[in-house]
A and B are shown apart, each in its own frame.
Chain A
Amino acid sequence: MMLMCRLKPLDEIFSQLQGFRSFLLLACNGCEESFGNAEPERLRYLKAEMEKKGVSVTDILTVDFLCEHLLVKHWLGNAECKRDFDAILVVSCGIGTQVVSKESHYPIYPACDTITMGGRIGQAWAKESCKECGQCILSFTGGICPLTACSKGLLNGPCGGSKDGRCEVFPQTRECGWHLIYERLKVAGRKDLLLGPPLVKDFSLGEPPEDLVSLRNQILEKGSETL
């Protein structure tokens, strides 16, 4: 799997980070360096911009394939020993961001919007956790995506049918996604996020722009040459 993602506009990233003073910048080094977003130069730029806004970046950590739970557990475990940051800004696709959210008790914020699956079948052995919608809202939902975690893909809270934390539609096989989000936000002390203004998806953002399509094609060509 190759998820194409792009860095969110800086203003949108900063609007999420309010209330925190120091961050770990955690970037995925898989899927061809997250489409350039995890290039050292790009990460240094992001750090500098954050520091201009008075937010300190205590460390930049890149991990190959943030979709791999074991790798994330190992590297995050090391980073969290220092306890010198309040939250984590994740430069990755929606899958990587949600794996970090699951493995860490720190608040997690996505730096990227995931647009589409590119082409190569690869590393992640995981349940579908990212819909590649191009408008990542994990910062409002405790790092759990309601588009995939809720059977109706509801964006603004639970339906009335969940029983004992199970989905009303598939009670045998699914937990209620909004129950998981509620529990996660309760632990994080951020239940206020369940009262935000109505979220509505912009479906035009799910279509990959031409520059990303050409970059994907270049990567695929390069890959086929090495086979």
Chain B
Amino acid sequence: MTITEIVNQKGFVVTSELTPPKGVNCGDALKVAESMSQVVDAINVTDGQMAIMRMGSLTLCHLLMDRGIEPVFQLTCRDRNRIALQSELLNAFVLGIRNVLCLTGDHVTLGDHPDAKQVFDLDSVSLLWAVQKLNEGFDIRENTLKGATDLCPGAVINPNALPIEPQLLKMKRKIQAGARFFQTQAVFEISKLEPFARMAQDMNALLLMGVLVLRTPDMTRFATEHISGVHVPEKLIAKLTSSKDPVKSGIEIAARLINEAKEVCDGVHIMNAGKEGLVQQILNEAGIRQPA
């Protein structure tokens, strides 16, 4: 089912994410996925996130589908040229994948192969446009396809950027290129979402707020300093530092944000909470899904 169909059916969509293993043993990842799938509507599978070489997104998406779990196939432009990207989109559709999150991709210097050649033949905007072309039955050179795709393209946006206008313009450009849903970078102040929510509403796109689960003060500082586009306000860092049970505080913060998000957007995307059953606890705390 596409993200659009889920929102139409349920009114509010909850997604989470899964990172493929560095290697070929998928057992742990699939266990986490099966447990999360009890409470979320779809699971994103990351594609070489932070430019770290791992098993590909497509394979794990396929394994999720085999288990009846709806995947969101993340596809980045860093490691493939336009031929490989289009080919990968055809592969995904044939395997039954319907949601594709189009990303530019992290710079190679952030990852474990800083000596790699980065491609960026297309970028997030032109990749969205490529999905649109394939959906219309053509490749980006206007060659006719034997069978068109019917993919639901999504994109990301960072409401923490300053100034925000370039991000808003980029969001508009992504919608014009075909984006139907947006997943935001982790947000900790709901007011930052408002201009993006207005844009989504005006242009008939869906907005899913990114929720990063804060677990320890050290991890929180790391996120602010090292994760692209993340900014955790000082008062939240202080709250975690003074808390006797930082994980519990992190769950409360995430649940509060999810409740606030219900007022302004169409869903949430919960990051880094696959292990330890945190997604279930957060959604339970937020009162939107009962534990399995």
A residues with a Cβ closer than 8 A to B are 151-164, 168-169, 178-179, 182, 191, 194-201, 203
Contact = CB atoms under 8 A, between A and B. Distances in A.
Nearest to B231: A163
B7 interface: no
Given A153-B120, A157-B169, 18 more contacts: A152-B104, A155-B126, A156-B170, A156-B173, A157-B125, A157-B173, A158-B166, A159-B104, A160-B157, A160-B185, A160-B229, A161-B158, A169-B109, A179-B166, A182-B165, A194-B166, A194-B169, A196-B173
Given A152-B118, A163-B162, A169-B110, A198 B129 contact: yes
B156 interface: yes
Contacts of A201: 121
Interface string B165-191: 111011011001100000001000000
B30 interface: no
A196 B177 CA distance: 10
14 contacts: A152-B123, A155-B125, A156-B124, A157-B169, A158-B170, A160-B157, A160-B161, A160-B167, A161-B228, A161-B229, A182-B163, A182-B169, A198-B177, A200-B122
A201 B124 CA distance: 14
A168 B158 CA distance: 13
A191 B168 CA distance: 12
Contacts of B169: 157, 182, 191, 194-195
Contacts of B172: 195
Interface residues of B, number: 34
Nearest to A182: B166
Contacts of A155: 123, 125-126
Contacts of A198: 125-126, 128-129, 173, 177
Interface in B92-120: 104, 107, 109-110, 118, 120
B223 interface: no
Return the 9 tightest CB-CB contacts between A and B, nearest first.
Answer: A160-B158, A156-B125, A161-B228, A157-B170, A198-B126, A160-B229, A169-B107, A198-B129, A194-B169
A127 B104 CA distance: 25
Contact of B107 (A151, A157, A178): A151
A152 B185 contact: no
B148 interface: no
Interface in B119-165: 120-126, 128-129, 140, 156-158, 161-163, 165
A199 B126 contact: yes
Given A195-B173, A199-B126, A158 B118 contact: no
Interface string B48-92: 000000000000000000000000000000000010000000000
A153 B123 CA distance: 9
Contacts of A178: 166
B228 A168 contact: yes
Interface in B219-249: 228-229
A153 B172 CA distance: 20
Contact of B173 (A163, A169, A194, A203): A194
Nearest to B126: A198
Contacts of A153: 120
A164 B163 CA distance: 8
A154 B120 contact: yes
B122 to A, nearest CB: 7
Nearest to A162: B161
A188 to B, nearest CB: 15
A157 B170 CA distance: 6
A195 B165 CA distance: 12
Given A152-B107, A152-B120, A157 B126 contact: no
B6 to A, nearest CB: 24
Interface in B227-277: 228-229
Contacts of B121: 201, 203
A152 B125 CA distance: 14
Contacts of A156: 123-126, 170, 173
A154 B228 CA distance: 16
A159 to B, nearest CB: 6
